[in-house]
Structure 1
Amino acid sequence: MDPAILSSHDIVLNDESHEVIVRGELVHLTPIEYQLLRYLMSSPDRPVSKDTLFQNVWGYDMAGGTNLVEVAMRRLREKIEQDPSQPVYLLTVRGAGYKFNSQGVENQGAANQAA
């Protein structure tokens, strides 16, 4: 697989064209949403803290950035998930932050129990 392409089930992220395809449809993401998805997909199934996301996606190291992360994650879920209120890919890990669930739909029940 091309290292410029990250994919998991029905999500394909092309780092060369900066395009994201979800369930066969091109999804338009803001630059921050794209970088957030890319960061999480680059280390699937590994929880990442909000502070770490803020530092690595936004490029800032300051208090109060976690609200920006929460808002961006909500917007990204609205674009990526079939049901943003019951996410399959972009999971909240209580006390740890967020993670990209590489098992996707196949592991929806177990993922929701863990989140």
Structure 2
Amino acid sequence: MNHRTRTDIRQSVRTVLSSRQQGGMRGWLPRTGQPSPRPRNQVEAELLQLRRALVKEGSELSGDIEKDAALVLAARRQGHRVDLVIGREIAPPDQDCRYVSWVEHNESVILTVAPVRELYEEVARW
């Protein structure tokens, strides 16, 4: 793991952890809304490297949503145009539902083969 990757992950973890404080998250990089010129396989390979670094540096994070948020933020710090998407399980109104997160590049799901778009309705995109 190179120094830049480690630094980006550490800063991203601190930013996500700040969301637990009274004032909320500080330092989030907003999405650009512009398509990425980088090919999907290159972006996915680089995000997998970031995810490996997150395993070492992100032990304070709880849950997949916080981990995906830190991953997306670190990727944005490195110039990637990726989105964090939060989805809600499609369930009858009288039942509790689960929330999950996934990462998208150019509106295409990456880093998972699960059919998240079919199983969950999108409720937020950062």
TM-score between the two structures when normalised by the length of structure 2: 0.30
Larger radius of gyration: 2
Which fold has the larger relative contact order, with Cα–Cα distance below 8 Å and residues 6 or more apart in sequence? 2
